[in-house]
Amino acid sequence: MEDTTIRREGNDLVVNDRWTAPLLIGAGGHFCPVARFLGVSARTEKCLVTLELERELPADEMAGYRVDAAYRELAYSDDLRGYGWCFRKGSFMNIGIGRTQPQNLRGHLDAFLSRLIEKQKMPRDTSFAAADFRGHAYKLHFVTPRPYLDDGIILIGDSAGLTYNFSGEGIRPAVVSARHAFDVVQEAEGDYSRARLAPYRERLHESFGQPVTGWRSRALEALPSFWFRWAGKAMLGVPRWARGIAVDRMFLHHNELKEAARPHLLPGKDKSL
């Protein structure tokens, strides 16, 4: 999408000198060209960086993975800066690791794969290697917000940088933000000025909370690593806290779900490795 061009022409927006419209919805993911048009520099943002692999495996190899299809296996890092996951989807295995600090991400992946082997969740001999994992980046919602809107423009999902900080999950934020965008556009009744679209920002904050900016953001970044390791050990060392806080609140966000959003939850359960 690097060659996508957007320019204003009166009250309209022109894309690639070909399409013209009074309203443009940015839904192009982390590197969305519409977000870039609003001044977003995706490569300099605070992100959750992941290495992920999803592969269909033959039945004989799948038998070596002792992963219950009803569960999503999670392994949190001791510093709460990320987690690894492993789960089955029919004949597919999905394995990955994500961290808010990208340094030595491959090393963390190797350690996680070794842990899966040690716990006998994964066989020592597999048809893939660490080099097969592919990287992705997701803007974290709570750190330095993106401009969600402008005259004639709304950003949704990963384009708006709505990924949950701890889990990196972005499907529910994408669905909820799209619903909010639809409602706001309907209410605007053809007037797509920034003022008329402003309720969209308020509804995002109501659904996902206010991003952390200014001195609060700098204070969080300044906390030493040993503090996060201590907090992680204290939280994950108590099963009730690990489930109630780390999984239900920080990962699945059960405390935020309203009845109307519950059908969007993936089936199954979660447990820590």
Q: Please tell me the predicted confidence (pLDDT) of residue 14.
A: 97
Question: Would you state the pLDDT for residue 184?
Answer: 98
Mean pLDDT score across all residues of the chain: 81
Are 247 and 253 within 8 A, CB to CB?
no
C-beta of residue 17 within 8 angstroms of C-beta of residue 5: yes
User: What is the predicted pLDDT for the residue at 234?
Assistant: 61
Distance CA 185, CA 183 (A): 6
Residue with tokens 């917000």: 145
pLDDT at 271: 52
What count of residues does the chain have? 273
Q: Given a cut of 70, is residue 114 above it in pLDDT? A: yes
Q: Which two tokens stand for residue 148?
A: 């969600």
Minimum mean pLDDT range among 48-57, 84-93, 183-192, 223-232: 223-232
Q: Which amino acid is at 50?
A: T
pLDDT digits (tens, 9 = 90+) for 143-172: 778 999 999 999 999 999 988 766 677 888
More confidently predicted of 231 and 60: 60
Place of tokens 């190797």: 110
Determine the Cα–Cα distance for residues 110 and 130; give it in Å rounded to an integer. Answer: 7
Q: Which domains does the chain have, with CATH numbers?
A: 6-44+141-208 (3.50.50.60), 47-139 (3.30.9.10), 215-268 (no CATH)
Q: How many other β-carbons are positioned within 10 Å of the β-carbon of residue 95? A: 26
- Phi, psi values for residue 205, rounded to 5°: -65, -35
Q: What's the distance, CA 241 to chain centroid?
A: 23
- The dihedral over CA atoms of 192, 196, 197, 199, expressed in degrees to the nearest 10, equals -160
Nearest to 188, CA basis, from 149, 226, 231, 239? 149
Secondary structure tally for the chain: helices H, strands E: 9, 12
Q: How many CB atoms lie within 10 A of CB 188?
A: 17
- Nearest-angstrom CA–CA distance, 140 and 100: 9
* Cα dihedral 162, 164, 170, 174 sign: negative
pLDDT of residue 79 exceeding 60: yes
- Other CB atoms within a 10 A radius of the CB of residue 104 amount to 11
Output the six-digit token pair for 244: 């109630």
Per-residue pLDDT tens digits for 38-47: 999 887 787 8
Lowest-confidence region among 88-102, 128-142, 204-218: 204-218
For the ranges 42-46, 63-67, 87-91, the lowest mean pLDDT is seen at 42-46
- pTM here is 0.72
State percent of the chain over pLDDT 70: 75
Q: What is the pLDDT of residues 170-228, one digit of tens each?
A: 888 999 999 999 999 999 999 999 999 999 999 999 988 877 665 655 666 666 666 55
From 67-81, 100-114, 176-190, the region with the lowest mean pLDDT: 67-81
Mean pLDDT (whole number) for 14-22: 96
